[in-house]
Structure 1
Amino acid sequence: MSDKKAQTRERILAAASAALLQRGPAEPSVGEVMGAAGLTVGGFYAHFDSKDALMLEVFQQMLSQRRELIAQLDPTLAGHARRELVAAFYLSRKHRDAHEQGCPLPSSVGELSRLPADFRAVLAEHVELMTAQLVSSPEEANQALADIALMVGGLALARALGPGELSDRVLRAAKLAIV
C-alpha cells in the first residue's frame, strides 16, 4: 500500500473512531465518516469493502487500545486492587467527558445485536481478555465479569446524563460497588 493510500486509510479510521465513540457503530453513515475525514464518498471502497467492515475494524482497534491502556495501569497490582484502580480510571469524569477518545462500549453495546455476528465475536474476545487482565486467580473471573458489566453500565448511564451532579454520583456509586 502506498504511503498516501495508507495515510488516507488512517484518516478514515480516525473519523470512524470518533463517530463510533459518539454514536455507536450502526448509525454513522459512510458519507458522514468520509466528510469528517475530509474525503469524498467515492474513495471509500478503495479502502473498505463496506461500512460494516470499516466499523468492525475500528471497533476492534478501539477495544485493543483500551486493553493496552489498562495493561499500563500499575501492572504490579492484581485482583481486587487492580479492579479498583481500573474502576477509578474507567469511571472518572475525564473518561466520561472524553469525546475524541474513550471506551466505545457504552455507545455500542445496545446496537451489537442488530449488527453482523463478527461484532459480537470481537466483543466476546474483548470481555475475555479484559477479564484475564483483572484477575489474579481463576476464582475471581465471575467477580471481574460483574465489575466489567458495572463499569460499562455505569459509564453509559453517566455519559447519558451528561456532566452534572447526578452523573458524578453515578460514577462514584459504581466505583464504590467494585468488589
Structure 2
Amino acid sequence: MSDKKTKTRERILDAASAALISRGPGQPSVNEIMGAAGLTVGGFYAHFDSKEALMLEAFRHLLKQRQSAVAQIDDQLPGHERRALLAAFYLSRKHRDGSDKACPLPSTVGEMSHLPESFQEVLAEHLEMMVAQLSSSPEDADKVLADVALMVGGLTLARALGDGELSDRVLRAAKSAVI
C-alpha cells in the first residue's frame, strides 16, 4: 500500500473511531465518516469492503489502544492495585467528558446483539486480554471481570446522565466499589 493510501486509510479510521465513540457503530453513515475525514464517499471502497468492515476495524483499533494504556500500569503491583489505578482514570470526569481516545464500550455494548458476531468475538478477545493484564492469579479472573463490568456500566450510566451531580455520584460509587 502506498504511503498516501495508508495515510488516507488512517484518516478514515480515525474519523470512524471518533464516530464510534460518540454514536456507536450503527449510527454514523459512510458519508458522515468520509466527510469527517475530509474525503468524498467515492473513495471509500478503495480502502474498506463495507461500513461494517470499517467499524469493526475501528472497534478493534480502539480496544487495542485501551489494552496498550492498561499495559502501562506497573505489572509488579498486585492486581487489585492495578485495577484501582485503572478505575481512578476510567471512572473520572475527564474520561467521562472527553472524546479523544475514549473507551468505545459504552457506545457499543448496547448494540452488540444487532451487530455481526465478529464484534462479539473482538469484545471477548478484549475481555480476555484485560483479565490477563489485571489478574494477579487465575483465581482473580472473575473479580477482574466483575470490576471491568462495573467500570463499563458506571461509565455508561455517567455518560448517559451528562455532567451533573448524579453522574459524578455514579462515577464515585463505581470507583469506590472497584477500589
TM-score normalized by the length of structure 2? 0.97
CA distance in 2, matches of 1:176, 1:108: 25
Which residue does the alignment assign to 2:113? 113
Residues 147-166 of structure 1: matches in 2 within 5 Å? 147-166=147-166
Amino acid at match of 1:82: R
Which residue does the alignment assign to 2:85? 85
CA distance in 1, matches of 2:123, 2:103: 12
- Structure 1 vs Structure 2: percent identity of aligned residues? 71
Which residue does the alignment assign to 1:126? 126
CA distance in 2, matches of 1:32, 1:118: 23
**Which ranges of structure 1 fall in alignment gaps of 5 or more residues?**
none
Which residue does the alignment assign to 2:44? 44
Which residue does the alignment assign to 2:68? 68
CA distance in 1, matches of 2:92, 2:153: 13
Distance apart, 1:76 and its partner CA: 2.4
CA distance in 1, matches of 2:106, 2:51: 20
Which residue does the alignment assign to 1:103? 103
The residue matched to 1:109 in structure 2 has which SS? Answer: helix
Which residue does the alignment assign to 2:6? 6
CA distance in 2, matches of 1:65, 1:99: 14
Q: Report the more deviating stretch, 10-19 or 81-90.
A: 81-90
Structure 1 stretches of 4+ with a deviation exceeding 3 A read none
Q: Deviations over 1:62-91 (max 9, x none)?
A: 001101001102332122111111111111
Amino acid at match of 2:20: L
CA distance in 2, matches of 1:43, 1:178: 46
CA distance in 2, matches of 1:80, 1:66: 18
- Aligned length, in residue pairs: 179
CA distance in 1, matches of 2:118, 2:64: 15
Amino acid at match of 1:138: P
Which residue does the alignment assign to 2:28? 28
**Which ranges of structure 2 fall in alignment gaps of 5 or more residues?**
none
Cα RMSD (Å): 0.9
Amino acid at match of 1:177: A
Which residue does the alignment assign to 1:57? 57
CA distance in 1, matches of 2:144, 2:113: 23
TM-score normalized by the length of structure 1? 0.97
